[in-house]
């Protein structure tokens, strides 16, 4: 029966052996984890996210214009100009503009004119994107900057 | 006086062919049962077989040759895959055109491509059927539990191989199927978004980034998928398949009635006290049929066994030839598709994954997170653990374990069919929660959907069967049968009854023209 003051110590040789094995195990594990760092990109290869869409007077109230290559829809009404991303919030297909809003070809999600989900598996409202102006007054959409739905730029 | 070395040299030269041949193989010419057994025993490639095989394992009904067919298909895929690599270029600019070259210009290119495509389809189907035969004959029982797990890993690797291969042609189908697939990997975001913690904890985005190397499908994704498809996954599959085969032998050959494995199967020889000192080698090499330990003929008479060469090898060759014939015939009849080049601006409509993922896509059309991630993981775990949760000792090799099992399987089929059809028919006809209660919480919509309810119903049914019959094996039969029926029905719905916008159509003729 081992006593409290004289516990059953690990033999010295066993201890050194175990320490060696554990040191090797930790070293191998550490280097494997280190190697796994490689496939995780630190910089994402991305094309510019800012889209120049033109002068404000090209967007009189009531305009809707789609930019399919950027998957962005620009709309203008008395509130101002806004941009909605046409990338479906379900699994990333490109939604199509319909009379009542948007619909997605992939799994049938439908959105109203403000991009809110009406039916289907999409979990959230379509992303609204930031519309800004350059110094000379031209409008640009930043496809990487999300703004809260209903944000219009007064022009 | 020194003699000239020339005569010896001349003699060696004369003997060269014979000596080359003799050094090539480690055994005598395979002319008798004994020397053939020796050949199987001492040849690296043949020794994966035992020297003798039980006659019952050779009957068609025992295996339907499905495991060997799956491996034959893998070998065909490796062969044709290497040929395709001669011309294929994994770059977004060139991939599509190199596929076109292979299809239209390269001599026999289209034929080889067709074989590769068909063999991939057949391999998935064969592996699934093989899994069914293993399950229904109770071949997963001790000591074969771990081989069942290795089998599940092989199933996942097989599916991963076809998923990664799907991107390589870089056509519309490829691009959009992989976009959807990668976003399924990102779908834990649905949950983190609903909880409002995505900014701090985003496992979904992390998975997608690792898979694509970018935030959209592009050159980085193509490079990664190519690497996985031609290197990593085939090597992994070969290694696991090697262990799978080795375990078959170590677990005592194929399961069959009358040889229920006991503790002896775990390595201790029957009738020998565990403490007895090891004497000589434990295998008696001279008499190949009396191999001790966990080998097929452990401590049994070699009665009812036949030499593996020629009987087993002949059966395997036959399966290989039939498989090859099927691939070649299908490749001659039907061409692998190649759509327009990938266009990130316009999705393919409908964008369908390959058929074996369409059941999944059907569930994804309710919720990406539940249908694409949680349910598949639950299903894989549930199936993988079957051998550990059903441990009733039982002879392997009797389909459905007899009449009671057959009855349970039949009733389960009826129940599972009704449940699966309802899970599709109700949302198609009456809509789902969001249509009934607009403004309902997103979390509820994610968690409670036809797919998760179907899964829950299947689990409940299996537990009911388990409870009522008092048999874990019958409970397992109920669970597995539910899985098979659900898979078949959802796959059928996804393949044949879904059209543009994933709307329901009884036939493709009703699809709107666009
Ligand atoms: C790439 C995929 C696979 C290959 C190439 C493969 C190959 C084989 C082969 C050649 C056999 C010999 C018996 C026969 O032909 O039926 C076998 C047996 C077996 N397989 Fe697989 N298999 C694969 C996937 C699976 C899967 C998905 C499972 C189940 C989850 C599985 C579980 C088993 C078990 C438990 C045995 C032993 C059966 C017995 O002893 O009767 N395998 N496999
Ligand atoms: S990607 Fe739009 S509904 Fe699935």
Residue B54 near residue B252 (C-beta atoms within 8 A): no
Instruction: Give, in degrees to the nearest 5, the angle at Cα B375 between B372 and B378.
Output: 135
Instruction: Please tell me the predicted confidence (pLDDT) of residue A6.
Output: 63
Give the angle B271-B273-B274 at the CA atoms, nearest 5°.
120
Q: What is the pLDDT of residues B170-214, one digit of tens each?
A: 999 899 988 988 888 888 888 888 788 888 888 888 888 889 988
Residues 6+ apart with CB under 8 A from B409: B136, B400, B477, B478, B481
* pLDDT at residue B185, rounded to an integer: 86
B362 vs A: CB within 8 A = no
Q: What is the pLDDT of residue B134?
A: 95
Per DSSP, A50 falls in state E
Q: What is the mean pLDDT of residues B394-407?
A: 89
The answer to whether ipTM exceeds 0.85 is: no
> Mean of the per-residue pLDDT values for chain A?
85
Contact A106 B346 (CB under 8 A): no
Closest-CA residue to B59 (of B312, B406, B313): B312
The total of other beta-carbon atoms located within 10 Å of residue B370's CB is 26
Per-residue pLDDT at B121: 96
Q: What is the model's pLDDT at position B167?
A: 92
Please name which ligand lies nearest the alpha carbon of A109: 2
- Which pLDDT belongs to residue A8? 63
DSSP label at residue B390: -
- Is the Cβ–Cβ distance between B157 and B237 less than 8 Å? yes
Encode pLDDT of A12-57 as tens digits.
778 888 999 999 999 999 999 999 888 888 777 766 678 888 888 8
Q: B185 to chain A: nearest residue by CA? A: A91
Q: What is the structure's pLDDT at B284?
A: 44
The residues spanned by each domain of chain A are 50-147
Mean pLDDT to the nearest integer, B13-33: 87
Q: Do B365 and A92 touch (CB under 8 A)?
A: no
If one compares B82 and A135, the residue with the highest pLDDT of the two is B82
pLDDT of amino acid B302: 59
Q: Which residue of A has its CA nearest to B350?
A: A106
**Centroid of chain to Cα B412:** 24
Q: Which of A69-83, B277-291, B301-315 is modeled with the greatest confidence?
A: A69-83
Ligand 2, atom 4, lies closest to the CA of A107
Asked if pLDDT for residue B293 goes beyond 80, the answer is: no
Q: Give the pLDDT score at B200.
A: 82
Q: Percentage of residues in chain B with pLDDT exceeding 90?
A: 52
At the second CATH level, the architecture of A50-147 is 3-layer Sandwich (2.102)
Instruction: Show which of residues 254-293 on chain B sit within 8 Å of chain A, judged by CB atoms.
Output: none
How many C-beta atoms surround the C-beta of residue B229 within 10 A?
21
Domain spans, chain B = 31-256+284-348, 350-506
Is B500 close to A92, i.e. CB distance below 8 A? no
Ligand 2 close to Cβ of residue A122 (< 6 A): yes
C-alpha dihedral, B80 to B85 to B86 to B88, nearest 10°: 120
Name residue, tokens 């009849």.
Answer: B333
Distance between CA atoms of residues B371 and B487, nearest Å: 13
Is A102 close to ligand 2, i.e. is its CB under 6 Å away?
no
Q: Which residue has the higher pLDDT, B284 or B462?
A: B462
**pLDDT(B24) > 50:** yes
Who wins on pLDDT, A88 or B260?
A88
- For B31-256+284-348, give the CATH class: mainly alpha
Helix (H, G, I), strand (E, B) or coil at A85: strand
> What is the C-alpha separation between A74 and A85, in angstroms, rounded?
9
| Percentage of chain A modeled with pLDDT above 90 | 20
Contact status of B91 with chain A (Cβ, < 8 Å) = no
Q: What is the pLDDT of residues B268-283, one digit of tens each?
A: 334 444 444 444 444 4
B418 vs B344: which has the higher pLDDT = B418
Q: What's the CA-to-centroid distance between B422 and ligand 1, angstroms?
A: 34
CA trace torsion A90, A96, A101, A107 (10° rounding): -40
| A103 ligand 2 Cβ < 6 A | no
pLDDT tens digits along B121-177: 999 999 999 999 999 999 999 889 999 999 999 999 999 999 999 999 999 989 998
H helix runs in B105-232, sequence order: 109-136, 145-167, 172-185, 188-195, 203-212, 219-227
Res. B21: pLDDT tops 90: no
Q: Which residues line ligand 1 (CB under 6 A)?
A: B 63, 66-68, 70-71, 74, 127, 130-131, 134, 139-140, 144, 147-148, 151-152, 154-155, 158, 241, 244, 248, 254-255, 396
B395/A contact by beta carbon, under 8 A: no
Quick: pLDDT tens for A63-82.
Answer: 888 888 888 999 888 888 99
pLDDT level of residue B287 (50, 70, 90 thresholds): very low
pLDDT tens figures, B434-448: 778 877 888 888 888
Nearest Cα residue to atom 1 of ligand 1: B154
**Model pLDDT for residues B352-386, shown as the tens digit of each residue:** 888 888 998 888 888 888 988 899 999 999 999 99
Per-residue pLDDT at B392 exceeds 60: yes
Task: Please give the residue that has the higher pLDDT: either B72 or B60.
Answer: B72
Tell how far the Cα of A103 is from the centroid of ligand 2, in angstroms: 9
Give the tens place of pLDDT for each residue, B233-269.
Answer: 999 999 999 999 999 988 888 887 765 444 444 443 3
pLDDT of residue B292: 42
Q: Is B346 in the A-facing interface, judged by CB distances under 8 Å?
A: yes
pTM, full prediction:
0.87
> Quick one: which ligand is closest to B368's CA?
2
Q: Is A140 on the interface with B (CB under 8 A)?
A: no
Taking the CA of A111 as reference, the closest ligand is: 2
pLDDT at residue B195 in the model: 81
Indicate if the pLDDT at residue A139 is higher than 70. yes
Mean pLDDT of B24-36: 83
Whether residue A110 has its Cβ less than 6 Å from ligand 2 = no
Q: Sort residue B244 into left (φ over 0), alpha (ψ -120 to 50) or beta.
A: alpha
């Amino acid at each position: 029966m081992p006593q409290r003051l004289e516990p059953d110590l690990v033999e010295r040789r066993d201890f050194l052996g175990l320490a060696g094995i554990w040191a090797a195990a930790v070293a191998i594990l550490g280097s494997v984890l280190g190697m796994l760092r490689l496939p995780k990109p630190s910089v994402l290869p991305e094309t510019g996210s800012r889209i120049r869409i033109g002068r404000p007077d090209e967007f009189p109230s009531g305009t809707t214009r789609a930019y399919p290559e950027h998957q962005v829809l620009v709309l203008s009404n008395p509130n101002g100009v806004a941009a909605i991303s046409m990338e479906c919030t379900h699994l990333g297909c490109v939604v199509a503009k319909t009379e009542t809003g948007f619909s997605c070809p992939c799994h049938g999600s439908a959105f109203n004119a403000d991009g809110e989900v009406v039916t289907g598996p999409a979990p959230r409202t379509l992303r609204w994107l930031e519309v800004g102006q350059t110094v000379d007054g031209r409008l640009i959409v930043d496809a990487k900057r999300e703004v809260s739905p209903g944000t219009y730029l007064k022009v | 006086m020194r003699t000239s070395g020339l005569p010896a040299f001349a003699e060696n030269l004369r003997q060269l062919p014979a000596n080359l041949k003799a050094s090539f193989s480690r055994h005598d010419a395979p002319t008798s049962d004994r020397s053939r057994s020796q050949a199987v025993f001492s040849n690296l490639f043949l020794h994966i077989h035992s020297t003798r095989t039980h006659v019952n394992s050779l009957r068609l009904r025992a295996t339907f040759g499905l495991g060997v067919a799956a491996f034959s298909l893998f070998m065909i895929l490796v062969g044709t895959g290497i040929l395709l690599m001669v011309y294929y270029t994994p770059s977004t600019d060139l991939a599509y055109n190199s596929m076109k070259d292979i299809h239209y210009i390269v001599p026999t290119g289209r034929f080889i491509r067709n074989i590769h495509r068909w063999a991939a389809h057949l391999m998935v189907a064969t592996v699934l059927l093989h899994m069914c035969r293993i399950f229904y004959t109770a071949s997963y029982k001790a000591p074969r539990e771990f081989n069942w797990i290795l089998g599940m890993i092989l199933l996942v690797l097989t599916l991963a191989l076809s998923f990664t291969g799907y991107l390589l042609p870089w056509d519309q189908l490829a691009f959009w199927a992989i976009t959807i697939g990668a976003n399924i990997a990102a779908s834990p975001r649905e949950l983190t978004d609903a909880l409002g913690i995505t900014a701090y904890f985003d496992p979904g985005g992390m998975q997608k980034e690792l898979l694509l190397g970018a935030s959209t499908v592009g050159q980085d994704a193509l490079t990664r998928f190519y690497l996985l498809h031609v290197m990593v996954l085939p090597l992994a599959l070969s290694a696991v398949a090697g262990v799978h085969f080795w375990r078959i032998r170590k677990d005592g050959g194929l399961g069959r009635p009358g040889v229920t494995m006991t503790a002896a199967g775990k390595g201790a020889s029957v009738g020998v006290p565990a403490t007895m000192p090891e004497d000589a080698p434990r295998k008696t090499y001279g008499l190949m049929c009396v191999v001790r330990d966990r080998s097929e003929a452990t401590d049994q008479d070699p009665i009812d066994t036949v030499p593996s060469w020629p009987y087993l090898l002949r059966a395997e060759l036959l399966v290989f030839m039939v498989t090859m014939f099927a691939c070649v015939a299908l490749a001659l009849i039907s061409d692998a598709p190649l759509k327009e080049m990938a266009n990130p601006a316009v999705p393919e409509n409908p964008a369908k994954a390959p058929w074996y993922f369409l059941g999944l896509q059907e569930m994804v059309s309710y919720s990406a997170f539940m249908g694409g991630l949680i349910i598949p993981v639950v299903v894989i775990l549930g199936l993988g653990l079957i051998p550990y949760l059903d441990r009733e000792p039982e002879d392997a090799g009797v389909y459905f374990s007899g009449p009671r099992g057959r009855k349970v399987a039949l009733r389960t089929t009826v129940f599972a069919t009704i449940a699966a059809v309802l899970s599709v028919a109700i949302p198609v006809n009456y809509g789902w929660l969001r249509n009934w209660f607009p403004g309902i919480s997103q979390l509820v919509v994610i968690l409670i959907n036809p797919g998760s309810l179907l899964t829950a119903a299947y689990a409940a049914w299996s537990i009911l069967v388990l409870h009522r019959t008092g048999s874990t094996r019958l409970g397992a039969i109920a669970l597995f049968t539910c899985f098979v029926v659900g898979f078949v029905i959802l796959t059928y719905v996804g393949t044949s009854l879904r059209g543009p916008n994933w709307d329901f159509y009884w036939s493709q003729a009703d699809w709107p023209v666009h």
